[in-house]
């Protein structure tokens, strides 16, 4: 059982406070309160309670229900593979790991077929081997660990910001010069599926970008992640006024000739956790990306 401890910010009902401070929905928070899984300052709570600022909220999360994740013979492009890890070039439109509504057809289903039992177990049954993620509609390179030793070594590099992750993106509007967005990212208060730049319950997020070429109404960027927060590039580019082209969540809708955001994970670099050798991989821009560049050039 996992336990979460929160410090109340006050000013709202308990179920709303929990939803605002965690990834739980308000209805899920209410169910946990009703089931007696939440205490405030050590006392049983009611969802209508309004804890004072500074009160200690403790949530006992139940064990997640087991979900059968089945291997599926789905073709995947493997850029590199050895006994410890592999690098995959994920196509746009493929979900990385199973989640509600996506328990099949994911990259994990394909990896389980390809690797069998040889995947790290640190991230649990739902995300075997997954060290880091990219969005469903983002294409490009993804690292997968075959064992816990490799997983720990790669995760430490991500934590230390020594893991190279470079993307290419087309964003809306004119970006005048190279720069950096240094703005913390956290869960959106009212839309739990969205992230946003916020000072509340957020984590440090740093994105570096450089201009590759400017077009009428668009700019082609190279983007380097210093940190790796959920939707980081999409959130930061929208925050600075240049949302990723085709981003329907953080942008201005999508051009009719672009299905999903124009964002590609192009370069991946890391020190191999077993050999100590620095390794770097690049993938070509996919067809959807180059066609969009051709369209805006014309």
Q: State the Cα–Cα distance between residues 140 and 87, nearest whole angstrom.
A: 10
Residues 6 or more apart in contact with residue 47 via CB below 8 angstroms: 13, 14, 15, 29, 30, 33, 34
For residue 44, the SS3 value is strand
Residue 20 a catalytic site member = no
In terms of DSSP H, where are the helices of the chain? 14-21, 26-34, 107-115, 148-159, 232-239, 287-297
Rounded to 5 degrees, what are φ and ψ at 151? Answer: -60, -45
Q: Are 218 and 293 in contact (CB under 8 A)?
A: no
Catalytic member of 135, 137, 148, 160: 135
Which residues are identified as catalytic? 135
């Amino acid at each position: 059982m996992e336990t979460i401890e929160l410090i109340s910010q006050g000013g709202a009902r308990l179920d709303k406070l929990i939803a605002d401070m965690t990834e739980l929905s308000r209805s899920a928070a209410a169910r946990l309160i009703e089931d007696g899984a939440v205490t405030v300052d050590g006392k049983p709570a009611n969802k209508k309670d309004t804890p004072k600022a500074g009160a200690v909220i403790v949530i006992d999360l139940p064990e997640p229900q087991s979900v059968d994740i089945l291997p599926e013979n789905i073709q995947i492009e493997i850029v590199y593979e050895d006994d410890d890890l592999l690098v995959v070039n994920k196509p746009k439109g493929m979900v990385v790991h199973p989640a509600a509504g996506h328990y099949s057809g994911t990259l994990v289903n394909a990896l389980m077929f390809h690797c069998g039992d040889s995947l790290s177990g640190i991230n649990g049954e739902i995300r075997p081997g997954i060290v880091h993620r990219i969005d469903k509609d983002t294409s490009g390179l993804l690292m997968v660990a075959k064992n816990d030793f490799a997983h720990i070594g790669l995760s430490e590099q991500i934590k230390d910001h020594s893991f190279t992750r470079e993307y290419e993106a087309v964003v809306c509007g004119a970006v005048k010069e190279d720069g950096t967005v240094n703005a913390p990212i956290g869960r959106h208060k009212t839309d739990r599926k969205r992230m946003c730049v916020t000072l509340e319950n957020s984590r440090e997020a740093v994105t570096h970008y450089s201009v590759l070429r400017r077009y009428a109404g668009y700019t082609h960027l190279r983007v380097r992640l210093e940190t790796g927060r959920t939707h980081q590039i999409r959130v930061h580019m929208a925050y600075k006024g240049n949302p990723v082209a085709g981003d329907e969540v953080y942008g201005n809708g999508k051009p009719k000739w672009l299905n999903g955001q124009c964002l590609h994970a192009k370069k991946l670099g890391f020190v191999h956790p077993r050999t100590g050798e620095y390794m770097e991989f690049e993938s070509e821009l996919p067809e959807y990306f180059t066609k969009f560049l051709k369209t805006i050039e014309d």
